[in-house]
């Protein structure tokens, strides 16, 4: 949905980033080629969900060659021995924030949430020792589960180490019937990453749309963020061509000065 942002004086646009889940099938077949298409669109960076079997050094080389950054990554909270290996990999890639979510069953009761938060906080402690941050990414259960007027998200935030930053997925907030703009305004500087998506926002299996063609208040939510480091475009699914949808969404963000990118012109000629 197109709306008129009312930005605070401290607001400035963050880099436009592509979430690789949007093109996970393509990336699994040809990671370098997929990254090249994302770079050609004009995105400044990517947020991966996987390295698709490539060693960190190889991925770092691809990113460097294409001029892309990887400031954040979706990866399970780094705890235990496997967590140390995860921290090693993403430290080599220069990634500053590792982002993940609690599972739906960890959001069922307040006690479940408190136990889940302990795992997140342990990850934050271990990541902090390596100079990295942990981020929390929401879905919709954080806002549909509630007790005495307090949502699961409210309970979770009370339990999380203040070092844990927030990656707000505005689409899932909208699916839950909550107000994403009001949410990020309330959370303030803790919101460092934003997943921007659009679509009907009626259910979890909706076909998502190019930014500006759905019902989500994209503009005002972005403008309400005061410490945003990345404006991350993700389409979980769409009826049309995914790369084209990413390019048109990029154009929406950069064309309306909601994010920065490496190209300011339309990208129609880059989609073949």
Which pLDDT score is estimated for 7? 45
Which of 142, 148, 180, 187 shows the shortest CA–CA distance to 164? 187
Give the domain 14-260 fold. Answer: TIM Barrel (3.20.20)
Can you list the residues of the chain whose pLDDT is less than 50? Answer: 7-8, 268-269, 271-272
Burial of 213 (0-12, 13-18, 19+ CB in 10 A): middle
Global pTM exceeds 0.85: yes
Which pLDDT score is estimated for 11? 87
Which pLDDT score is estimated for 1? 73
Which pLDDT score is estimated for 3? 66
Which pLDDT score is estimated for 266? 61
For the chain, which residues make up each domain, given as ranges? Answer: 14-260
Which pLDDT score is estimated for 9? 53
What are the start-end ranges of the H helices in the chain? 24-29, 31-41, 56-66, 80-92, 110-129, 141-144, 152-159, 170-175, 180-187, 218-223, 242-255
């Amino acid at each position: 949905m197109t709306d008129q942002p009312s930005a605070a004086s401290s607001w400035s646009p963050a880099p436009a980033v592509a979430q690789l889940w949007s093109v996970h099938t393509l990336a699994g077949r040809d990671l370098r080629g997929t990254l090249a298409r994302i770079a050609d669109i004009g995105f400044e960076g990517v947020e991966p969900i996987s390295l698709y079997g490539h060693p960190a050094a190889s991925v770092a080389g691809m990113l460097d060659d294409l001029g892309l950054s990887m400031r954040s990554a979706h990866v399970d909270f780094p705890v235990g021995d496997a967590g140390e290996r995860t921290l090693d990999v993403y430290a080599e890639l220069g990634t500053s924030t590792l982002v993940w979510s609690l599972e739906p069953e960890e959001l069922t009761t307040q006690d479940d949430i408190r136990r889940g938060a302990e795992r997140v906080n342990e990850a934050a402690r271990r990541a902090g020792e390596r100079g990295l941050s942990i981020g929390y990414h929401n879905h919709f259960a954080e806002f549909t589960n509630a007790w005495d007027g307090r949502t699961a998200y409210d309970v979770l935030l009370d339990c999380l180490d203040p070092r844990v930053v927030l990656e707000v997925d505005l689409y899932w907030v909208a699916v839950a019937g909550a107000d994403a703009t009001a949410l990020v305004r309330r959370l303030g500087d803790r919101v460092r990453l934003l997943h921007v998506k659009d679509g009907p926002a009626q259910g979890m299996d909706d076909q998502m749309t190019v930014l500006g063609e759905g019902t989500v208040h994209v503009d005002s939510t972005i403008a309400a963020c005061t410490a945003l480091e990345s404006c991350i475009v993700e389409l979980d699914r769409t009826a049309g061509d995914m790369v084209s949808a990413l390019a048109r969404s990029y154009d929406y963000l950069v064309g309306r000065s909601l994010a920065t990118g490496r190209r300011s012109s339309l990208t129609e000629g880059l989609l073949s």
